[in-house]
Structure formats: C-alpha cells, structure tokens
Structure 1
Amino acid sequence: MKKSTLLLAATLSTVTAVSMADNSFYDKARVINSQPLYETVRVNHPEERCWNERVEHRGGSRSDSYTPSIAGAIVGGVVGNQFGKGKGKDAMTVAGVLLGASVGNDLGKRPGRSYVTSERRCESVDNFREHEELVGYRVKYRYNGQVFHTRTSQDPGKFINVRVSVAPTEGANYDFREYD
C-alpha cells in the first residue's frame, strides 16, 4: 500500500473519531441474557513410559592368539605318539599334532558364555487431554427499546456500558460547530 493512501486513511479515521467524540456519549443498557461461551481445548501432556527389558549378551571368541592351537598340537602329538610303533609312531605323532592343532584352534574361536541383563528402556508418549475453556460471553441487551447482541470477555452483570453516537441521517446538511 502506498504511503499517501495510508496517510489519507489515518487522517480520515482521526477526523471521524474526533467528529464522533463530539456527538457521542456513554450510557447503560439493560442486559436481557448473558450466556458463557466455551471452547474445547486439546492439550498435550507427554508422559515418559519406562519398562525393563531382557537383553542377551553373547561373549566374543575366547582368544585371538595361537595358544589354543599350540596347546592342541602338543596334546595331540603326545597322544598320537602313544599309539604308533616304529615308523608308524612318527606318522601317528604328526597326525596327532595336526588333529590337536585343529581342535585347539576350533576351541579357541568358540564364543564365550552368553549372559542376560535387564536394561531399562524409556520412551515419550503423547497424552492429549481435552477440557472446556471459558472464552467469553454472548450478551443480549436492550437499549432505548431496541435489542442488540454483542460478545464480551467478562460477564457484564445486569447492565452493560454502551457508547451512543448521534448524527443526522444521510443527505442532511450539517456541521459540528457548537451554537449557544
């Protein structure tokens, strides 16, 4: 909007307000009916819900070292040496070493023991609640024999203040100067 249009609108509203101030007054009107107005309001009250959960933990491999393989080879060699005779004794010892090393390697890579713990888990859950909230009053009042309606923020009681403006009807030639 142009500045000149805004300036014109502001000037006209000021002139109108000043003119009306000269020809208006305040009075009381009788309230016929006053009804409270309610609005349903929905409010979120988030809640934290927690529970205990069982969690299973599996142990990793027991060892990444060569110790199980070496120990298996030694035990396998000793056992193999007990069964052979002559040149077969050497073959049984070698077979025992290889088999023992393989078994030791497999045992070393076997997972450790698993165990279960209880861990607390929590989450936020929306919890909406609705309630009625007073937002104002619908007021029906009578002034000078005529019935009017309005909305107020407070209950007016038996009477409501009104501003009365007096002006000639359209087309009349008048000015606002005071005459003695």
Structure 2
Amino acid sequence: MQLYKQLIAGAAVAALVGLSSTANAGPRGYAADGYDYARVTEVTPIYTDVQVVTPTTQCRDEQVAYREPASPTGTLVGGLIGAAVGNNLGGHGHRGRHHYHRSHNRGGATIAGALVGALVGNQISRANAPVYYATESRCHIVDEYSTRRELVGYDVRYRYNGQVYLTRTDHHPGDRIRVHVAVSPAL
C-alpha cells in the first residue's frame, strides 16, 4: 500500500507540473507573451552589387618645347634701323623754285619707323631664338569604377505548426527563429 501511495503522489506531482507548463505556454504550447520559436529549414544569403567610384591621379611624362626669350639686341637694332628709314622717308621735302623745304612730319615718321623696326626686329629675334626641350609630368584625376558585393540580409525559410513560412532578416538566425503568435477568436 505504501508503494501505491507513492505512485499516486508521484502521478499527482507530474500532473501538476504538466498543467503548470501548459498554463504558462498558453494555447497550443506557445508562451504567454505571444512569442514562440520555429525551426529554421533554410537560410539563403542575399547580396547586392554596389558600384564604388575611386578618384585616382594618373600622370604621364611629356616632352615640352621651350624657346628662349627674344634677345633685346634684335629689338634695339630693329628700332634703330626703322628710325633711320623713317627719318629718311620723313625728311624728303618739296623742291620749289629756289628753296628746299623739309617736311614737318619728319619726327612722326622717325617714331613710326622706330616702332615698326622694333617689332620686326623682335619677331626675327624670337624666331631665331634657340629651342630646348624638357620632360614634364602632366597629371589629371580619373574616376575608376569597381563593383563590390555587399551582404544585405538573409532569406529564412522556417516551419511552425506544420506550415512553412518565408521572411527576410538582417542577420543569420541560426537553427531557430523567434516568431510572434497571435490568437483571435473564430466567429
């Protein structure tokens, strides 16, 4: 009889523990707070391709021609020759019957001749100036494009109460996923 009493007491304790866990889990075994866990059956990572623009500096060496500056001697000599020519052209007067008259434009012709002569002398001097070459580095910025794959989330397939569901998460859920369970009365 002692054994029988112990057996009944054990069964009563087991029933109370079972009843207690069912009451805490709520209807159909999910927790009273409305959340439960479902078994994950498949996880697929989802990637997107992102285009990345990287500005880079590209340089190359170029050979550049330089002409030495014009010699001031050419400008000076051209100006003197031009002034002499202008002076002679401006110095011819009109011969009258008895007198030789000089023109009043002699100064203007001398100045004009000097200017024209200086310009011509400068151009000749520049054209005959020695040319030298130097190597210079020419740089410019170029955008380089590349594609990078980024992980954006996971498609997660899970099973709950015999039904299969699909959701997307931003992290890997592992072998189970927390689900929200809602119960509403059937009318």
Verify same fold: TM over 0.5: yes
- Tell me the distance in 2 between the aligned counterparts of 1:109 and 1:150: 83
Instruction: Give the share of equivalent positions with the same residue, in percent.
Output: 39
Partner of 1:51: 60
Amino acid aligned to 2:43: S
Partner of 2:171: 154
Alignment of 1:95-106 (within 5 A): none
Partner of 1:133: 150
The answer to whether the 8 A contact 1:24-1:166 is kept is no
- Tell me the distance in 2 between the aligned counterparts of 1:108 and 1:39: 67
SS at match of 1:66: helix
2:66 matches 1:40: no
Alignment of 1:58-69 (within 5 A): 58-63=67-72, 65-67=75-77
Number of residue-to-residue matches in the alignment: 120
Shift of 1:41: 1.5
Q: Which runs of 5 or more structure 1 residues have no equivalent in the other structure?
A: 1-22, 74-100, 173-180
Larger Rg: 2
Query: Over residues 18-73 of structure 1, what are the superposed CA-to-partner deviations in whole Å (9 max), with x where a residue is unaligned?
Result: xxxxx861100000111111111211122211111111122343227434554899
Q: Which runs of 5 or more structure 2 residues have no equivalent in the other structure?
A: 1-31, 84-113
- Tell me the distance in 2 between the aligned counterparts of 1:69 and 1:34: 92
Residue 34 of structure 2, aligned match among 17, 25, 38: 25
Which range moves more in the overlay, 35-44 or 107-116?
107-116
Amino acid aligned to 1:157: G
- Tell me the distance in 2 between the aligned counterparts of 1:38 and 1:150: 16
Shift of 1:109: 3.7
- Tell me the distance in 2 between the aligned counterparts of 1:165 and 1:118: 78
- Tell me the distance in 2 between the aligned counterparts of 1:167 and 1:108: 102
Q: What is the alpha-carbon root mean square deviation over aligned residues?
A: 2.9
